[in-house]
Amino acid sequence: MSELAERRKRGRPRKEARSGASARAAILKAAAEEFAERGYEAASLRAIARRAGVDSALVHHYFDDKADLFTASLEAPLRPDRALEVILAGPHDEIGVSIVRFLLEQLENPKAQARMVAILRTALSSGPGSRMLREFLTREVFLRLATAAGGDDDARLRANLAAAQLVGVMITRFVLKLEPIATAPAEDLARRVGPVIQWHLFGDPSQPLA
């Protein structure tokens, strides 16, 4: 992600800086409209370029792919798709704890938390934001988790249940602000929730947990 941030900062040459920034802003605005109207699946980078009145190549200059443009248009405080790629390639036994640790560490910052709360509220609303977020998560997050968990229907359900535990932790900690979960150290939660994520994804449901 820092490589990307650097590339964005470097951006265009100085004399084009202003028009570059405004082109990027136009693309983000067009993307937000396109995703809200058509959902994440049906939205295309080509249609977003057309809507923004820029060449498709310029969209690819600023954004790596659809997931990158989507998360930028949402001002998402983290990139679950990229993090998962790294975590799933790491030690198998630590996948659950790494996912929880990543999520909570990225959300330590109050601005990141506030943005995540806004995104959660959008996801849970009855508006169009709910569909685009569901489609993004299904395509870019749950599919990766389900593939890691075995790839069949059962794995898809287990990926949903892992996601349910994570969504529940974010909601009780950052939205409802229940105590003591709201102020518990991230590492304590990683230690307690990590094994649950691991079990949902890879455990044997016929075996008792306790």
Binding site for a second copy (CB under 8 A): 120-121, 123-126, 130, 134, 137-138, 142, 153, 156-158, 160-161, 163-169, 171-173, 175-181, 184, 188-189, 191-193, 195-196, 198-200, 202-203, 205, 208-210
Q: Considering Cα of 90, then 95, then 98, then 104, what sign does the dihedral take?
A: positive
Rounded to the nearest whole angstrom, what is the least distance from the CB of residue 90 to a second copy in the complex? 17
For a second copy, give the closer residue by CB, 79 or 158.
158
CA 123 to chain CA centroid, Å, is: 12
Rounded to the nearest whole angstrom, what is the least distance from the CB of residue 165 to a second copy in the complex? 5
For a second copy, give the closer residue by CB, 71 or 198.
198
How many angstroms separate the CA atoms of 178 and 54, rounded?
A: 46
Rounded to the nearest whole angstrom, what is the least distance from the CB of residue 98 to a second copy in the complex? 15
For a second copy, give the closer residue by CB, 86 or 184.
184
Q: 3-class DSSP state for residue 125?
A: coil
Rounded to the nearest whole angstrom, what is the least distance from the CB of residue 44 to a second copy in the complex? 24
For a second copy, give the closer residue by CB, 30 or 148.
148
In 10 A of CB 79, how many CB atoms? 18
Residue 136 sits at φ, ψ, to 5 deg, of: -60, -50
Show the beta-strand stretches assigned E in 9-142.
Answer: none
Distances (CA, A) of 29 to 17, 69, 75, 127, 146: 18, 11, 12, 18, 32
For a second copy, give the closer residue by CB, 63 or 174.
174
Rounded to the nearest whole angstrom, what is the least distance from the CB of residue 79 to a second copy in the complex? 20
